Amino acid sequence: MDPHPEAAGLLNIHKPTSLTSFDVIRKVRSILELKRVGHCGTLDPLATGVLLVLFGRATSLASQLVAGEKIYRATMTLGVQTDTGDCTGSIIQRTDSRKFSEVQIRSALKQFEGEIQQTPPIYSAIKWKGRRSYEYARMGIEVPRPPRFVRIDSIDLLNFSESEIELRILCSKGTYIRSLVEEVGTALGTCATVSGLIREKVGHFSLEGSIPWNELLRMDRNQLLYRSIPTATILQP
């Protein structure tokens, strides 16, 4: 039983690279001395940025928060494809580097705006028969991953070079940026993988209001509760 069952709220935490989303949950549980702690939307170990963590009775709001639009800043490396869809995986394909014009890149990006169908990556957290897809992938087993419809509201081209393209993406819940990057690479006539990913916003929660990981590590229970958002105001913009 939790020693502090009355505690409830939300924490906007800036997850650093190399940690899993569950690593963040584990740390918050330890500081708050609570068992009922969960996050809204998994971030891959490579990714950084906004990770919303709910605790206590506030966990009942998870589905409403997950439904919020998200903004990502992604860096895609051209000419490389990996088994995981990002630079942490093993390379399974290479293509010769070629320089794309701004017009070519914008034309390719335009194809993915609106409602599109995506197949989740094999290395993803979706479940099949009670286990995560990435668990099967690590055993070399490919499981069914039914395509799903997601919405891409906008893809802004921030920067590009012969080997990399940087994008800002406004999208719906359930969008896999790794899949999107691979599809954009294919549309350009090459292959591509994610080499950097930052989640800048979830709903009305942004990086500007997040708690840096190094700061969180120095907090005690009272300090962390002070930085939390009360249940009654979580859904208010």
Sign of CA dihedral 179, 183, 189, 195: negative
Token representation of residue 15: 């997850």
Distances (CA, A) of 2 to 6, 12, 22, 28, 37: 9, 22, 19, 13, 11
Catalytic residue positions, numbered: 44
Q: What is the dihedral of CA 85, 87, 93, 96, to 10 degrees?
A: 120
What does the alpha-carbon distance between residue 145 and residue 147 come to, in Å, rounded to a whole number? Answer: 6
- CA end-to-end span of the chain, whole Å? 33
* 183, 45 Cβ separation under 8 angstroms: no
Residue 148 tokens, joined: 């799903």
CA distance 216 to 58: 20
Establish how many alpha carbons lie within 13 A of residue 61's alpha carbon, considering only the half-sphere containing its beta carbon: 22
Task: Report the alpha-carbon distance of residue 143 to residue 133 in Å, rounded.
Answer: 7
